[in-house]
Every structure is written in structure tokens, then in C-alpha cells.
Structure 1
């Protein structure tokens, strides 16, 4: 009987497909079409930096992170900062943190590739999440 139970468990493990998070590295245009985020491997996680302004902010390419909740970081340039950090595969999605320079705050985030090939990006505070769809940059 025990041998039969182990055989059934082994067959179920083989028959159950393992869902892995689709790769998300590359360059993505934000939903508002105001910037390009480059997502790349950084150490043992995935990060994403603001690579280009498509709609330059008031300070142009030299715009500083003036809304940051940490006064010591308000003089750093926005261009090149990591907006996404610490993302790790979790099933069919990636989990990490996202920084919103408009609010100057970092939020828990979930990112995954949608069926259309776009990137679905969620930023969450507790159970409340806001979702954006980013498109591949050409």
C-alpha cells in the first residue's frame, strides 16, 4: 500500500506543470508614456532603473528626486535611479519593491508578463493596489 501511495504522489508531481515567472528583463515604456524603465539582473534579484525621460519633467534630464521622503536623497538625479528593486520570482510573478518618485515613497510590488506581452506592474499598500500596464520599448 505504501509503495502505491508513493507512486501516485510521484505521478502527480510529474503531471503538475511548474509555473515559473516569465522573464521581464528589457526596456519598458511606462503607462503614462513619460519614461522608459530598463529592467535587468542585479545580483540575485531583478531591478529596474529609469533609463530615459519621454516627457521631460520641469527640471529636464537633471530633475532631482525632490519628493523623496528622505531629505538626504532629494538632491539625487531621477534619471538612472532604481524604481524597481529586490524582485524575486514567486510562482508566475515577480515580487519586490517599487519607488514612485511623484510621491517619494516605496511600495510593495508585484510584476508579471501579461498575455499580450505587456508588463503588469502593481504597487501596493496593505491590501490596496494600483495597477499599471507597461509596453515594450522599441
Structure 2
């Protein structure tokens, strides 16, 4: 019986260490991309959070309407509108971590997203430790 208490305490500490101490501020909503080209709707996707291109506001003349730059030939015919841009985001305590897809070059990057005090999203796309940051404003 003496050994059960230390084991139970160790198990409780291990569980606590695996769980973030605090939850990240929710990021669900509609956001205008920094360049004003589209509106991304962010919300739950199963056990994770994702974001889809809900509205195209600006496109270059003659721009493809499908994902022609995707490295996977099987995905090159999928429409840009409705495409998942953010995927697999999970609560990392102070922010959300997942992947971001750029249909302009067909590449996917590690991403870190957090909500700013003004309700905008700070969206980072990273290759190794080099990151590019954008601010997405709430869409009306």
C-alpha cells in the first residue's frame, strides 16, 4: 500500500505535465487576409481547428480557379474556393499550432496562430525557424 500513493502521485504529475497549463484564446471566426484577397472562416474540424477560403475578394486576371500549383497532381483540380488554408490546429497553451497552405505556390508550412487583443489573428508560416507573419482582421 505504501507504494501505491507515490505511483498515483507520479501518474498525476505526468498527466498534468502533458496538458497545457492554460488554454489558448479561441480563434474561431471570419477573417480578412492581410492582402485583402480573401476571407478565411476558422472553426472546428473534428478534434482540431481549421480554416477554409470562404470568399475570394481579389484575384489576378486569368488566375486559375483550381489548385494548379499543388505538388500532388491529384489535388490540382480542386477548387480554390472552399479550400482548407489552415489545418490540424491544436491548442498549444498560449497559441494554436498546425499547418498553413499557400495556394499561390502550392506549399504547406508549419504555422502558429494567436488572437490579438483587438480581435485580429497573428498568423505565422514557418520553414524551420524562419517565419513570416501576417495579421488577419475580423471580416464583417
TM-score range, shorter chain: 0.7 to 0.9
Counterpart of 1:90 (choices 92, 98, 109) is: 92
State the Cα distance separating 1:92 from its structure 2 match.
Answer: 1.3
Return 5+ residue gaps in structure 2 as ranges.
1-20
TM-score (norm 1): 0.82
State the Cα distance separating 1:70 from its structure 2 match.
Answer: 1.2
CA–CA distance in 2 between the matches of 1:119 and 1:57? 25
* Residue deviations 1:73-105 (CA, integer Å, cap 9, x gap): 111110001000000000110000000001101
TM-score (norm 2): 0.81
**Would you identify which runs of 4 or more consecutive aligned residues in structure 1 move more than 6 Å?**
none
| 8 Å CA contact retained: 1:98, 1:123 | yes
After TM superposition, list the pairs within 5 Å mapping 1:1-138 onto structure 2.
Answer: 18-58=21-61, 63-138=65-140
Task: Give the paired residue count.
Answer: 120
